[in-house]
Amino acid sequence: MKACWSKAAFWMTTLVVGWASAANGTEMIITSEIPLATNPSPYIEQFITEVDKRTDGAIKGKYFPASQLYNDRDGLAALGTGAVHMVWPVSSRLEQFDQRVGIASLPFALTTEEMTNACFANGFTRQISGYLEPRGMQILGFLRTADLIFLMKDHDIQTVADLKGQKIRVIGGQIMLDAMRSVQASPISMSASEMSAALSQGAIDGAMTSPAGWVDVLGKTAKYATLAPGMGLATSAVTVDKQWLDALPDAQKKAIQEVLSEIIARQWKETVAKDKALIDQMVGKGGHYRVMAPDEVNKLKERFLAAGEGFRNKHADVIAQLEKTRQECIHDGK
């Protein structure tokens, strides 16, 4: 009987310790301005679940989507305060901390082929992270947001000239603001959560955003969609409080990076297929979708590249480093 009680006591003690360990797990607060159903929110939830599992509950994640806690700009500013540990913003949001990050937002600069090449993606991540680490941030990787499209309330964008005079929401950052001004549009920077009301009220005529933004945010209010191939490959930068990350045990840091790497590898493939399905869904509801003609895409590229010339001249070393990574990882076939 005494032996049985001893065994029971042992298992009860083990269970209590396990509960205490889970309850006292390290908190990981992630915030976003993106709605729960919109990319990358589902992947953030997967990340939290898998990190919890891989660390045996030692890291307990909590996610606040749709600006419930902060929008991306304010969330990034809160890194280092203890209120937020991770933000997965569109990469252009990071330009507020270092202008060199603008290379991630240069129109016609990055391709899916490059960003799904592990050598290139890792080199690019190290480059961008190096600019931000003095600010207490670290970039762990890049997810695909979307190939950006123009979504308009009443205006069918067929040519570059059609953009003239249009008030268009862009994903924040000076690079894209300058690019849109080069085609005589009026660019307006605002968060995803503000787009729908702004379009309905006439504060903007349209938005440069993702197919998910069409389905989950703008809906039927945006009647016309236009893709200019190559124009804008938007990415989300997984940004972490470096001091918080550095304080974690090595095994937990490894688990975080491994889970993220696995998610990124399939996220790039899955979102390409999902974007096509989302566009088909909106067309099925009466929306209009077109791909801009090649000659008009070339005109747009000429204007956008000219608009980015100031950045290229000012940050020639940044461009050179990117080209070095491209040469080593893509052209040399590594």
User: By mean pLDDT, which of 3-7, 152-156, 157-161 is the weakest?
Assistant: 3-7
Phi, psi (degrees; rounded to nearest 5) at 126: -60, -40
DSSP secondary structure letters along 110-178: --HHHHTSHHHHHHHHHHHHHHHGGGTEEEEEEEEEEE-EEEESS----SGGGGTT-EEEE-SSHHHHH
Alpha helix positions (H), 216-315: 242-246, 250-284, 294-307, 309-314
Q: Does the structure show a pLDDT above 90 at 334?
A: no
Q: Please state, in angstroms and rounded to a whole number, the distance separating the CA atoms of residues 261 and 246.
A: 18
Task: Look at the pTM and tell me if it is higher than 0.75.
Answer: yes
Q: What is the pLDDT of residues 31-78, one digit of tens each?
A: 999 889 888 999 999 999 999 999 999 999 999 999 999 999 999 999
Would you place residue 115 in the very low, low, confident or very high pLDDT band (cuts 50, 70, 90)? Answer: very high
What sign for the dihedral angle of Cα 102, 227, 274, 205? positive
Nearest CA among 121, 126, 333, 65 for reference residue 233: 121
Q: Please state, in angstroms and rounded to a whole number, the distance separating the CA atoms of residues 86 and 78.
A: 10
In the chain, where the domains are located: 2-331
SS (H, E, C) 228-246: CCCCCEEEEEEEEEHHHHH
Q: What is the pLDDT of residues 257-293, one digit of tens each?
A: 999 999 999 999 999 999 999 999 999 999 999 999 9
The class level of CATH for 2-331 reads: alpha beta
Q: What is the model's pLDDT at position 4?
A: 44
Judged by phi (left if over 0) then psi (alpha if -120 to 50, else beta), residue 4 lies in alpha
Q: Is 223 exposed, middle or buried (0-12, 13-18, 19+ CB in 10 A)?
A: middle
Structure tokens at 227: 């893709």
Q: Please state, in angstroms and rounded to a whole number, the distance separating the CA atoms of residues 328 and 117.
A: 11
Q: Are 291 and 229 in contact (CB under 8 A)?
A: yes
Q: Please state, in angstroms and rounded to a whole number, the distance separating the CA atoms of residues 286 and 289.
A: 10
The DSSP 8-state label assigned to residue 287 in this structure reads -
Contact partners, residue 205, CB within 8 Å, separation at least 6 = 152, 153, 154, 155, 166, 167, 168, 199
Contact partners, residue 71, CB within 8 Å, separation at least 6 = 33, 191, 193
Q: What is the pLDDT of residues 235-253, one digit of tens each?
A: 999 999 999 999 999 999 9
**Residue 229 neighbours by CB distance under 10 Å:** 11
